Amino acid sequence: MYRWPKVSYKEEGLREGMQIEDAHISVDDKVSLLDALSETGLEQIVVGSFVSPKWTPQMERIDEIVTKFNPKPGVTYTALALNSRGVERARAYSPPLTIERDSFPRLTCHMCDVFVRRNTNRSQMQEMERWPQIVAQAQELNIKEAGIGCNASWGSNFLGEFQVDSLMTLLEKEHNMWDEVGIKVASVAMGDPMSHCTPAKVEESLYRVKEKWPEIKHFRLHLHNGRNMAIASAYAAMRTLEPEDTLELDGTIGGFGGCPYCGNGRATGMAPTEDLLHMMEDMGIPTGVDIDKLIDCVWMAEGIMGRELFGHVSKAGPRPKHLEQLYDIDMPFVETLEQATHFKKGPQQYEGGIYPYQEPITSPYRDRVEKGQPNYDPANGDYPWKQDWFPSK
Amino acid sequence: MYRWPKVSYKEEGLREGMQIEDAHISVDDKVSLLDALSETGLEQIVVGSFVSPKWTPQMERIDEIVTKFNPKPGVTYTALALNSRGVERARAYSPPLTIERDSFPRLTCHMCDVFVRRNTNRSQMQEMERWPQIVAQAQELNIKEAGIGCNASWGSNFLGEFQVDSLMTLLEKEHNMWDEVGIKVASVAMGDPMSHCTPAKVEESLYRVKEKWPEIKHFRLHLHNGRNMAIASAYAAMRTLEPEDTLELDGTIGGFGGCPYCGNGRATGMAPTEDLLHMMEDMGIPTGVDIDKLIDCVWMAEGIMGRELFGHVSKAGPRPKHLEQLYDIDMPFVETLEQATHFKKGPQQYEGGIYPYQEPITSPYRDRVEKGQPNYDPANGDYPWKQDWFPSK
């Protein structure tokens, strides 16, 4: 019924995820996970960050990881670097790394002056002070299209909620600077490091951007999930954007992750990749990802971290659609999470479960499906509407 | 920007939640949880179910629970009963129980013939066979408004995906039966016991119902969360419906729950009440619920179950909006889930955490907020746009 934007997805588990986990997780474990992720069909994977090991010991051995992993042709591997020293370190590993550059020169700042000071040791004012320089550089390079953006777009744990009006006013300031030099604005980025996104606010923000600047066709959202709003917000974004638009989204397998500066730690999280991509496939947005292999990665990550992560599809399994995925109609009770893994591990998981039926379950619907017929006919088809037993009244 | 429907919310933790948990959880624990839920502002609470203790031993002591709990005036307490014996048992406790009746005589059936056989020991055909009797009764009672509905509306773990076309055709069959006797259809119910909902399908279904039968103003959705789609689907429903519409939604604190018949056990879940209601409050849909007390209930439930539940707001805390909720801007690293509980337990939770700053964090924005001023002025206000430091270029 609806037409969706193009969606480009980036897996952040090795970066956003691992940066808030135990610093002693081994290089081998991280490399195994990265190699497994490479086999899922994911097109963009962040391998970690080149940052100070003093404050982020979780990334101390990033050099070993990028040396040891098996780059898969066709996959783009990037790493986060927050300053020129970090970029320089990353360059030593390119290839296999692609040095992450924004597709557009971008004027951006954090709406939360506190968070940017805590996280990167500079103020919002210092971010803004760089704007004229970014514009001048773009002019020198004769750049035709530029970007605008805000981080902490909808609110802050330190300053409270930001009105969409305020977000729009900041974006407008940025847009005006590009207008003044005649460079077209083609992209907007909105970040949410402190999990203040809601689908209603994301929708309103994107709608207003599109209404005000219809020439913007490129949208980037980096949403955190501390209040469980990342998937609903991503859906709202897909619903608001159009086929001519491109939406860049990030998330992590299992939904783990966060940063130590935001105040929510491991409770921050992101959209669980497996849940979000499984939704997209159902909507008809191709992801190219093998959900079964992705679930293997979540389970591997849970083994490494020694605890259950936040995602759901890895626990209940994907929605069975095809005959070979359908559950045994005569299966006994399934109660525990361990039993629920039968979708992957097989019927022995629920063996010995309570069996409450006096006779085996049968159903004419399942018989049809077993024969390769659809469960229901399309409207006005034969089944079940024209069966003898179908009540006419 | 948008106008939302009226939303009516029912807490299902004691029923959908507890029915898939350890049968040995004590009556006292359940009564304590129920009494705590009663103090949150929730208006509708399901206390459990009157079903066979043979197959649902978790509900064996429901009589003791309804005898011991402290009914709060203004709260509607209901219990599930699947047959006349169950209704009879429940009646013995009314009041305090309200005997749950659908507001409308309703023609409904499960789209999944397998699930209804597994769960209630009857077939879809047997459900349909009751339709003429329901219509006849409504005529006798001179009922003016009736309902239609489908359970397992979007798919089944045993039969696969159901097309929205098929759902609409079934609803149409039901609608036609009311049309034939001249009784107006005012309500539609859609259930999802096997977690096949997606926001796109929920939106399409509601949109098509509204388009086809604009006189339907009452909508009921019972969504499960095995694939993490319940909150996004609930949002999509709120987005699709209008202020003239009423939307009934169900969920459980912490998002726990499920049934042993669907094949996903405890991985089934529902929308976590605290996450969903916190979203609604942010959207301007009043819930009357104290989120802080609700989080107390989640923590209590986690203590009873001995494990972490699925919800997020109970881990990261609500989005801080008011001065007294804002985090200390000079707080050290927050990394673990235990440290993250500072939002409720106080700063001692993160005491001793890594402190990476050479000087205390300060910010002119926070200074403003401390003085009771807004973090940003409304568009075209003074701050920060007219500060000396604000870059004009």
The answer, yes or no, to whether residue B234 has pLDDT greater than 80, is: yes
Nearest-Å Rg of the Cα atoms of chain A is: 24
pLDDT of A389 reads 76
pLDDT tens digits, one per residue of B236-256 = 999 999 999 999 999 999 999
Q: Quickly count: other Cβ atoms within 10 Å of residue B96's Cβ.
A: 16
Question: What residues of B are in contact with residue A384 (Cβ under 8 Å)?
Answer: 124
Q: What is the DSSP string of B131-179?
A: HHHHHHHHHHTT--EEEEEEES-SEETTTEE--HHHHHHHHHHHHHHHH
Closest residue on chain A to B308 (Cα): A308
Are A111 and A163 in contact by the 8 Å Cβ rule? The answer is: no
Q: Would you state the structure tokens that stand for residue A128, as one six-digit string?
A: 């803004």
Sequence-distant (≥ 6) Cβ neighbours of residue A157 within 8 angstroms: A115, A194, A262, A263, A264, B319, B320, B326, B327
pLDDT of A2 reads 63
Q: Would you state the structure tokens that stand for residue A303, as one six-digit string?
A: 């083994």
Question: What residues of A are in contact with residue B339 (Cβ under 8 Å)?
Answer: 265
Q: Give the closest residue to B27 by CA, choosing from B69, B90, B56, B55.
A: B69
Place of tokens 């014996």: B85
The answer, yes or no, to whether residue B117 has pLDDT greater than 80, is: yes
pLDDT of B387 reads 83
Question: What residues of B are in contact with residue A380 (Cβ under 8 Å)?
Answer: 169
Q: Do A114 and B365 touch (CB under 8 A)?
A: yes
pLDDT of A392 reads 58
Question: What residues of A are in contact with residue B160 (Cβ under 8 Å)?
Answer: 320-323, 325-326, 369, 375
pLDDT tens digits, one per residue of B186-225 = 999 999 999 999 999 999 999 999 999 999 999 999 999 9
CA A27 to chain centre: 24
CA–CA distance, B300 with B36 (Å, rounded to integer)? 9
Question: What residues of A are in contact with residue B383 (Cβ under 8 Å)?
Answer: none
Q: Do B337 and A265 touch (CB under 8 A)?
A: yes
Count each helix (H run) and each strand (E run) in chain B, helices first. Answer: 15, 10
CA–CA distance, A347 with A98 (Å, rounded to integer)? 44
Q: Do A159 and B128 touch (CB under 8 A)?
A: no
The answer, yes or no, to whether residue B100 has pLDDT greater than 90, is: no
What CATH class is the domain B6-316?
A: alpha beta
- List chain A residues with pLDDT less than 70: 1-2, 379, 391-393
CB-nearest to A264 from B204, B326, B334 is: B334
> Average pLDDT of B370-392?
82
What letter represents residue B313's amino acid? V
Confidence band for B127, pLDDT divided at 50, 70 and 90: very high
Could you tell me the residue ranges of all domains in chain A?
6-316, 324-362, 365-393
- CA distances A215 to A102, A177, A212, A242, B204, Å, are 18, 16, 9, 12, 29
Residue of A51, A126, A365 to mutate, interface with B, max B Cβ within 10 Å: A365
ipTM: 0.96
Give φ, ψ of B247 to 5 degrees. Answer: -115, 120
Q: Do A263 and B342 touch (CB under 8 A)?
A: yes
Q: Do B335 and A269 touch (CB under 8 A)?
A: no
Question: What residues of A are in contact with residue B225 (Cβ under 8 Å)?
Answer: 312
Q: Do A279 and B227 touch (CB under 8 A)?
A: yes
Residue of A150, A224, A335, A389 to mutate, interface with B, max B Cβ within 10 Å: A335
Q: How far is B105 from chain A (nearest CA, A)?
A: 16
Q: Do A316 and B195 touch (CB under 8 A)?
A: yes
Place of tokens 């659809």: A374
Q: Can you list the alpha helix ranges (DSSP code H) found in chain A?
A: 27-38, 62-68, 84-91, 113-120, 124-129, 131-140, 164-180, 199-212, 230-240, 273-283, 291-305, 313-316, 337-340, 342-345, 364-370
A33: burial class by Cβ within 10 Å (0-12, 13-18, 19+)?
buried
Q: Give the closest residue to B253 by CA, choosing from B309, B192, B308, B306.
A: B309
Q: Do A329 and B114 touch (CB under 8 A)?
A: yes
Q: Do A385 and B268 touch (CB under 8 A)?
A: no
> Average pLDDT of B97-103?
82
- CA distances B220 to A83, B6, B206, Å, are 52, 12, 10
Question: What residues of A are in contact with residue B315 (Cβ under 8 Å)?
Answer: 226, 264, 267
Q: How far is B80 from chain A (nearest CA, A)?
A: 20
